[in-house]
Amino acid sequence: MKRWSCVLCLLALVSLALAGPAAAQPITHPLDPLTRLEHFTVLEVLQQAGKLADGSRFTRLELKEPDKAGVWAWRPGMPIARSAEVVVAQGRSVFEATVDVTGKRLVSWAERTGVQPMWTESEFGDEVVGKVMKDPRFAEALKRRGIAGSEFVTCIAVPPGSFGEPKYVGKRIGVLSCRLRSGYRNTWARRIEGLSVVMDMHAKEILEFVDDESVPVPAGGNDFDRAAFGKLREFGAPLEVRQPNGPAFTMDGHVITWDRWRFHVRPDSRVGVIISTATWKDGDRERPVMYQGHLSEIFVPYMSPQKDWYVRTFIDAGEFSAGGLADTLSPGIDCPDYATYIDSVVPAGAGWPTDKPRVACVFERTAGDMIWRHGTEGRPQRELVVRMVAMIGNYDYVVDWRFLPDGQIKVSLGATGIVETKMAGAKDARVAGTNGADSRADAYGRFVEPNVVAVNHDHYFNFRLDMDVDGATNRFVRDEIVAKTLPPGHPRRSIWVTETRPVTSEQDAKLTMDMHKPSLWRVTGTRQNHVGYPASYQLMPAHSIHTLLAPDEAARQRAGFIDHHLWVTPYAAGERYAAGDYPTLSTPGQGLPAWTKGNRSISDTDVVLWYTFGMHHMVRAEEWPVMPVLWHEFALRPFDFHDRNPAMDAGMKP
């Protein structure tokens, strides 16, 4: 407790140091993120309550969202009460806390048993990793591969999936992943294969050390920085996009107003960016569309059966976001030069607030498209984008929330970064330009260069969409598109018609896209448009996949949300993450599968959509050494929400 006993004096010093504008961040909305000083308030309350000790690790310290109905009812000038939700790991124990930030008091402190917290940054290079690297067996393994010593190697520990081995139950298991780092910046193509080391991160013990095949590490590098390429090619003429009069949106704290849209943006360490209270101005009315939307979870399983590869079944957001999922953005690359940026404060491992700049950007753009046209009449397209980029290990995921003048919200996700590779043995590797025949070395991936195989894998993304179409009382309906046979003697044999079917329970709302049985998925409100149809918003999916993992496989069961493209649940404040609150080393069935077992009613209530899309990734040569951005998107589009095209009066300046 000694280190924490001096927290109060440190707080006093820090408060003085932060007495400028950065310390006095105004709170102007109930959903605003915790400020730096509010983080310190939380630490002070916990320390005074005797809850902190040396070695306390914070995996969450964020705003505890106030009551949803209260947020919708709040108006500027009304008081704002502030609370924080906290997850603290102390040794093998995990504690959840609620702190009243406004009243500076501890509301609750309870141990959560049977769970493992997120992987923290310190664990990647934990003491046990150093222990492995000093082990004589490790030195011998490096020697067999022609590596001079451990100083030329970088190693990390990552959590494997849970595969039901009784000997590992209850332990905080890490598996070793090592790469040769000498000579090059990019080490992803220089993985040390054949080493399978299992570690108990709490006991600081090596549980299993297996050195299988000694595979040479490729001598070359694949650096991708500018120095590695020299002079870059130039286009024939410059292309400039400018806003000489500034942006057409306004930001009042974290509330953005653009065209007829108004919504709140909040950085969040686990999911990156949360869009809240999205409304559309219809005449003199602010019509609710969506209470909250955010990325909920990412699942990336690799398709290689080797012992040091099959454990790679990552549940990325829930396992690896302790330091903040959203990465710092680079102006002019990640976002246009004219973009506006949003900063964040994230807790370091010991809980201290750490400034993380530019975790989201906001900008307008036009691509020369039209909103609508007919003949010589039309309107140019213009859109507002809220962007964040999550860098998780080797992959980068770009998430765009795009607001359009016709009432649509489009969500685009782009995958880029570096694909994971394994080193193939020399005797069975195919060298480009030889005989062209496949060997067993590329049975589970594709060669991107001699002896380097990019391993096949999947990507799944789940988004939580709390729709409030004209209020919180909604229904979920399916418009089934069915063939109708016409009577004998009619010149046509068949047409299709729509049959609208309300879906009233969670089990019936577990839906999978089927091109042979098309349907539209909509959330309807209590209002009607001018011809009597219920106002609604449609979730319009795009490209996705069906999982090929076996139903009884633990990896699939841990990420059970991938079983269906869509789940619909009644709103519950504590249900936020599709794979559950604690997916690290989790047991199967957490999250959506567990919540929906009760088959709750979703009729005439507050409904939440959980949409999952994914892709099978068979890597091509053009994705090495860095993958060009591959985009997928879906849309939330008004469906009878308006009486006519809401973009008829859109402006002519794109």
Contact of 28 with 252, CB cutoff 8 Å: yes
Dist. CA 267–CA 88, nearest whole Å: 20
Q: Residue 458: enclosing H or E segment and its boundaries?
A: strand 457-467
What end-to-end distance do the CA atoms of the chain give, in Å? Answer: 60
The answer to whether residue 611 is catalytic is no
Cβ neighbours of residue 39 under 8 Å, at least 6 residues apart?
61, 345, 347, 351, 352, 353
Contact of 272 with 326, CB cutoff 8 Å: yes
577, 558, 557: which is closest to 567 by C-alpha?
577
Contact of 543 with 588, CB cutoff 8 Å: no
Other C-beta atoms within 10 Å of 393: how many? 17
Measure the CA dihedral 202/207/211/215, to 10°. -30
Determine the 3-state secondary structure of 436 from DSSP.
coil
Tell me the one-letter amino acid at 618.
Answer: M
Cβ neighbours of residue 321 under 8 Å, at least 6 residues apart?
118, 269, 270, 271, 390, 392
Contact of 362 with 386, CB cutoff 8 Å: yes
The answer to whether residue 291 is catalytic is no
- Report the sign of the C-alpha dihedral through residues 573, 575, 577, 582, in that order: positive
**Cis, peptide link before residue 166, omega less than 30° from 0:** no
Catalytic residue among 32, 291, 302, 395: 395
Contact of 118 with 103, CB cutoff 8 Å: no
Cβ neighbours of residue 182 under 8 Å, at least 6 residues apart?
152
Task: Name beta bridge partners: 155.
Answer: 178
Q: What's the gap between Cα 400 and its chain centre? A: 11
Catalytic residue among 100, 259, 316, 327: 316
Contact of 465 with 485, CB cutoff 8 Å: no
Cβ neighbours of residue 412 under 8 Å, at least 6 residues apart?
398, 399, 400, 402, 631, 632, 633
Residues belonging to the active site? 316, 395
